Chains A and B, each alone.
Chain A
Amino acid sequence: MKKMKKVAAAVLASTMVLSLAACQGSGAKTETTAQGKTEAGSGETGKTAETPGTGGKTKISITFRDGGSDALKNWFEHAYETYDKKDSIELDIAPITASEGDYFAKVALALQSADTAPDIVCEDTFQLPSDVAAGYLTDLSGYLKDYKEWNDGTYYGPLVDGVTYSDGSVYGIPYCTDTRGLWYNKDIFKAAGLDKEWQPKTWQEILDTCKVIKEKCPDVVPFWCNSGVASGEATSMQTYEMLLYGTGEQLLDENDKWIASSENILKSLNFINTIYKDGYGPSLSKVLNGEAGNIASREYLPGGKLAISLDGYWMTGNYKETGSAPWPEYKDKLGIAAMPTSEGQKPGSITMSGGWALSIPQLSDQKDASMDFIKHCMSYDIYLDTIIAQGNIATRTDIAADPTYASQPFMEKCTGFLSGAFYRPRNSQYSTVTTHIQTMVESVVSGTSPEDAMAQYKSDVTNSVGADNTVTK
């Protein structure tokens, strides 16, 4: 017995020592890779990053969100394969697998330390102002002086504005944009006896259509919009802001104050409330799920279980041969209608537009090399391939004119939505306010009255941005 105890003690003690040693080992490892960001190329170690080409390769790490599609990874890999500086540069593809909200938190944490900051980071343009204000990103203006396509108007003007901070400096190269609308399954419309070419003129017409579908096709979910906290920004932008901006109101008033409470907020929430109260929406367990967006676009809509989905153009990326849910007939079975304004008032229909950009963290030690690689990623041929694979709208006007790109189903119509599109506030507080919007929408969906939800939103927003930055209408 005593001997057993001794043995046990010895085993425990050695485990402890080993685990401590392991901790130290991994710690030391991260330090070396981070400090030098250098990988021994031909057996020589200890070369620093500043001396590329003398045996060590310069290492560029690139971070993006892995949302279950390989499109971004393929883009960077393909770009690297065709890169003429491949011999002196090594690419470290380091995706973050996380929900949207967690992605921004992880990136913000990573950008705070030179040990963890990547050299290129994919930033959603709504998060950009906040990260710039925090000093996390590099001002690219200097690097852009000799970037021909940037200066000759190849990039769309509003998207250039989207990555330009209030001081006029540029903090990212936009690589995709999007528009939103009402996608509908024509087979279901036919079965419900509705016209296959559908364009509602008011919110009421959407509800009326839902009613017909519910009566004629009781097994089908009539309407799906992102509604939960777990869907993150999709809930704010694809659902709430598409509604709110359709009432004629925006998130900020003309004096750049956050509107915390108004008739139009209530009107938008009431629309969402009606969808769920009248049984036009999906079950809560589906729509409040973190996978909600994918369930709708990859499973329900192509499977004939969903009639109308309020979603973005990128959704069609799923249906391509290379996509996550190939749907060969999507060109004919799917329809797109513009989202109408609340009562059909001018301009008749609306869309929100956003997008993502490639940025260089402030703490990157390979800014020149990174910028060069970004330019290569955005070069015509490579960018054309990826933007088609991503199923997104291009940020370069010359790509927009490319026949392969322009002939994609729905492309013309969705690009057409861009003129007159609204963009989210370029305000560093947006990234916090948007989370309060998501909470507000989810609480309406799960049974809180729109009035109470708005009251909570008001208190949350006031709390976050300060009472003097909010107004009540």
Chain B
Amino acid sequence: MNKKSSRLFAEARKSVLILPSMVLLLIFFVTPILLTVYYSFTNLALSGENAKQLKFIGLSNYVSMFKDRTVRISIVNTLVFLLGSLIGQQVLGFLIALNMRNRNRIFRGIVGPVFLAGWIMPEVVVALCCSTFFGDEGTLNQIFSFFHLPTVEFLFAIPMATVILANIWHGTAFSMMNFQSALDGVPADIEEAAKVDGAGPFQTMLRIILPCIKNTIATNTMLNTLSTLGVFGLIYMMTGGGPGTKTLTLPIFMYRQAFISQQLGYGTAISMILLVIGIVLSVFYTRVMRKD
């Protein structure tokens, strides 16, 4: 009896302690999501007649979305941006982490912060740095002209590649840190044993190191996916989604529809695609992870 009541007390205490965070989550996380879903079925607008009377218009936002060619373009752009950023950030992050392994503290102490600088900078500053770096009269073109190479209008000739590069610069340090800690966790004796058994560096990498950090790769991919899907400020500041629709990703298209064209309802419907892509990819990654 006594035992039971004390357990009950413990449960109650736990619930009370967890209550504030649950309430906060409910107010600031769950409610906005539900509201967004609701608004995507309405004619919500920033101005005009529709702003006066909120009306439920059923699936009509979704119907026009599927007819809209720009939606398709921005889905493709989002996926290209995602894939480019993911591959770039992870491969680069992994290589840096690998090269920093077993180096002395001074080397690590200098190289690490250099890469971290890109990550700790706010998005706006990153965008500004990259715009001035890739700009028409920017640093890179100055270097080009110093060597008498033709200058390139990076933000217009290859806009998507440029914003991906900027995002890679911004995000690589995060992957680097994840891989660093994972690599530190690879037991040295297994590697040693492989070496004794005659495995070359390539084989060691493929058969020993990569399998050991598999879970980190999956987690890292998922985290990067979710943060890359939401990138707005970086692209908006560098290209504004242009020229034309060349870097128009879903978040930017959503912003344009909701706030510039003042059709909030349609904008929220577009955000649903983003949500779906995020959910699908997350489920996919967790499935892959669970298999092992």
Binding site for B on A (CB under 8 A): 101-102, 104-105, 108-109, 112, 127, 130-131, 133-136, 228-230, 283-286, 288, 290, 428-429, 431-432, 435-436, 442-443, 445-448, 456, 459-460, 463-464
Encode B236-254 as 1/0 by CB contact (under 8 A) with A: 0000111111100000000
B47 touching A435 by the CB < 8 A rule? no
Given contacts A134-B47, A463-B64, contact A446 B243 (CB under 8 A): yes
Determine chain A's interface SS by DSSP, over half rule.
helix
Distance from A441 Cβ to chain B, minimum over Cβ atoms (Å): 10
B69 touching A428 by the CB < 8 A rule? no
A130 touching B64 by the CB < 8 A rule? no
Q: Judge if B67 is at the interface, Cβ distance under 8 Å.
A: yes
B residues less than 8 Å from A432 (CB atoms): 48, 261-263
B243 touching A133 by the CB < 8 A rule? no
A229 touching B68 by the CB < 8 A rule? no
B244 touching A446 by the CB < 8 A rule? yes
Interchain Cβ contacts under 8 Å between A and B, 9 examples:
A133-B47, A134-B45, A135-B52, A283-B136, A288-B243, A431-B48, A435-B261, A436-B261, A442-B242
Within the assembled complex, what's the spacing in Å between the Cα atoms of A133 and B51? 8
Binding site for A on B (CB under 8 A): 45-52, 64, 67-70, 135-136, 153, 155-156, 240-246, 256, 259-263, 266
Within the assembled complex, what's the spacing in Å between the Cα atoms of A112 and B240? 27
Within the assembled complex, what's the spacing in Å between the Cα atoms of A284 and B159? 12
Distance from A272 Cβ to chain B, minimum over Cβ atoms (Å): 13
A residues less than 8 Å from B67 (CB atoms): 459, 463
Within the assembled complex, what's the spacing in Å between the Cα atoms of A290 and B239? 10
A residues less than 8 Å from B262 (CB atoms): 104-105, 108, 130, 431-432, 435
Distance from B259 Cβ to chain A, minimum over Cβ atoms (Å): 4
B residues less than 8 Å from A443 (CB atoms): 244-245
A446 touching B261 by the CB < 8 A rule? no
B153 touching A463 by the CB < 8 A rule? no
A130 touching B48 by the CB < 8 A rule? yes
Given contacts A102-B259, A463-B68, contact A133 B156 (CB under 8 A): no
B residues less than 8 Å from A284 (CB atoms): 153, 156, 243
Given contacts A133-B52, A432-B261, A432-B262, contact A229 B153 (CB under 8 A): no
Tell me the nearest residue of chain B to A448, going by C-beta: B244
Give which listed residue, B49, B70, B243, contacts A442 with CB less than 8 A. B243
Within the assembled complex, what's the spacing in Å between the Cα atoms of A135 and B46? 11
Distance from B73 Cβ to chain A, minimum over Cβ atoms (Å): 10
Given contacts A228-B242, A432-B262, A464-B261, contact A288 B156 (CB under 8 A): yes
Within the assembled complex, what's the spacing in Å between the Cα atoms of A464 and B47? 13
Give which listed residue, A104, A290, A456, contacts B69 with CB less than 8 A. A456
Given contacts A130-B47, A285-B136, A463-B64, contact A105 B260 (CB under 8 A): yes
B residues less than 8 Å from A135 (CB atoms): 51-52
Within the assembled complex, what's the spacing in Å between the Cα atoms of A134 and B44? 11
B260 touching A101 by the CB < 8 A rule? yes
Tell me the nearest residue of chain A to B73, going by C-beta: A456
A459 touching B240 by the CB < 8 A rule? no
Tell me the nearest residue of chain B to A107, going by C-beta: B47
Distance from A396 Cβ to chain B, minimum over Cβ atoms (Å): 29
Within the assembled complex, what's the spacing in Å between the Cα atoms of A456 and B68? 8
Within the assembled complex, what's the spacing in Å between the Cα atoms of A463 and B60? 10
Distance from B280 Cβ to chain A, minimum over Cβ atoms (Å): 26
Give which listed residue, A112, A134, A447, A456, contacts B48 with CB less than 8 A. A134
A288 touching B136 by the CB < 8 A rule? no
Distance from B226 Cβ to chain A, minimum over Cβ atoms (Å): 24
A residues less than 8 Å from B259 (CB atoms): 101-102, 105
Within the assembled complex, what's the spacing in Å between the Cα atoms of A194 and B136? 32
Within the assembled complex, what's the spacing in Å between the Cα atoms of A285 and B45? 32
- Sample of 12 further A-B pairs with CB below 8 A, known A101-B260, A105-B46, A284-B153: A134-B47, A134-B49, A134-B52, A283-B136, A285-B135, A285-B156, A290-B240, A431-B262, A432-B48, A445-B243, A448-B244, A460-B70
Which of B70, B259, B260 is packed against the most chain A CB atoms within 10 Å? Answer: B260
Within the assembled complex, what's the spacing in Å between the Cα atoms of A463 and B265? 12
Distance from A29 Cβ to chain B, minimum over Cβ atoms (Å): 21
Given contacts A105-B46, A456-B70, contact A447 B244 (CB under 8 A): yes
Within the assembled complex, what's the spacing in Å between the Cα atoms of A161 and B136? 45
Tell me the nearest residue of chain B to A111, going by C-beta: B47
Distance from B264 Cβ to chain A, minimum over Cβ atoms (Å): 10
B residues less than 8 Å from A134 (CB atoms): 45-52
Distance from B251 Cβ to chain A, minimum over Cβ atoms (Å): 16
Within the assembled complex, what's the spacing in Å between the Cα atoms of A432 and B47? 9
Distance from A221 Cβ to chain B, minimum over Cβ atoms (Å): 14
Within the assembled complex, what's the spacing in Å between the Cα atoms of A286 and B137? 11
A residues less than 8 Å from B46 (CB atoms): 105, 108-109, 134
Distance from A139 Cβ to chain B, minimum over Cβ atoms (Å): 15
Distance from A399 Cβ to chain B, minimum over Cβ atoms (Å): 31
Within the assembled complex, what's the spacing in Å between the Cα atoms of A138 and B260? 23
Within the assembled complex, what's the spacing in Å between the Cα atoms of A134 and B264? 14
A285 touching B155 by the CB < 8 A rule? yes
Given contacts A443-B244, A446-B244, contact A428 B49 (CB under 8 A): yes
Tell me the nearest residue of chain B to A434, going by C-beta: B261
Within the assembled complex, what's the spacing in Å between the Cα atoms of A228 and B244? 8
Within the assembled complex, what's the spacing in Å between the Cα atoms of A187 and B106? 62
Distance from A305 Cβ to chain B, minimum over Cβ atoms (Å): 14
Given contacts A429-B48, A443-B244, A445-B243, contact A435 B256 (CB under 8 A): yes
Which of B46, B69, B240 is packed against the most chain A CB atoms within 10 Å? Answer: B46
Distance from A321 Cβ to chain B, minimum over Cβ atoms (Å): 30
Top-6 shortest CB links A-B: A134-B51, A446-B243, A446-B244, A105-B259, A443-B244, A435-B261
B47 touching A136 by the CB < 8 A rule? yes
Given contacts A284-B153, A288-B156, A432-B262, contact A108 B242 (CB under 8 A): no
Within the assembled complex, what's the spacing in Å between the Cα atoms of A436 and B46? 16
Within the assembled complex, what's the spacing in Å between the Cα atoms of A104 and B241? 19
Within the assembled complex, what's the spacing in Å between the Cα atoms of A428 and B50? 10
A residues less than 8 Å from B135 (CB atoms): 285
Tell me the nearest residue of chain A to B136, going by C-beta: A285
Within the assembled complex, what's the spacing in Å between the Cα atoms of A428 and B70? 24
Within the assembled complex, what's the spacing in Å between the Cα atoms of A290 and B48? 26
Distance from A346 Cβ to chain B, minimum over Cβ atoms (Å): 35
Give which listed residue, B47, B52, B69, B240, contacts A127 with CB less than 8 A. B47
Within the assembled complex, what's the spacing in Å between the Cα atoms of A284 and B153? 9
Distance from A114 Cβ to chain B, minimum over Cβ atoms (Å): 16
Within the assembled complex, what's the spacing in Å between the Cα atoms of A459 and B65? 11
Within the assembled complex, what's the spacing in Å between the Cα atoms of A461 and B156? 27
B residues less than 8 Å from A131 (CB atoms): 47
A residues less than 8 Å from B266 (CB atoms): 463
Distance from B47 Cβ to chain A, minimum over Cβ atoms (Å): 4
B residues less than 8 Å from A288 (CB atoms): 156, 240, 242-243
